Structure 1
């Protein structure tokens, strides 16, 4: 049986896995949160919409990334 094309043997936390899971969770969980919060904001222009998405989405992304990293670090041991 041939070996899979993409294999990794990380020493420590697999950062590729952390980035992929962060991406998926941020879209699956973060996007609905941003959409829900946008219902209470005054978003009259594209600039205001972009600023809102960055201002609200960035902290969600950081919290998600740190949570996924902590999970990977904890389960690795």
Structure 2
């Protein structure tokens, strides 16, 4: 029987939850944002389209990750009660 895995919660945050929520919200929120912002853009080639999606998606991912982390940090009870 394998040994139980030890858990660690530095800062009291569940970083797995933060990463999962960032991934899901980036897709759910980011796809429509990229699609809407691409409408007025001139994207004649697939390379231009990919570059545009990566640039906009990176900004969406960064903002989403910071917001999810801030939410988790604010709602986590670090007092131990």
**Interval of TM-score (by shorter of Structure 1 and Structure 2):** 0.7 to 0.9
Quote the offset at 1:9 in angstroms.
5.6
For 2:4, the equivalent position in structure 1 comes to none
For 1:10, the equivalent position in structure 2 comes to 9
TM-score normalised over the length of structure 2: 0.80
Quote the offset at 1:46 in angstroms.
1.1
Specify every segment of 5 or more residues in structure 2 that has no aligned partner in the other structure, as ranges: 1-6
Aligned-CA RMSD value: 1.2
Specify every segment of 5 or more residues in structure 1 that has no aligned partner in the other structure, as ranges: 1-7
For 1:35 and 1:16, how far apart are their aligned partners in 2? 28
- Residues 44-68 of structure 1 show CA distances to partners (whole Å, capped at 9, x for unaligned) of 1111011101111101100000000
Quote the offset at 1:10 in angstroms.
2.5
Q: Which runs of 4+ in 1 moved over 3 A?
A: none
TM-score normalised over the length of structure 1: 0.83
For 2:60, the equivalent position in structure 1 comes to 60
* Larger Rg, first or second structure (1 or 2): 2
For 2:62 and 2:13, how far apart are their aligned partners in 1? 17
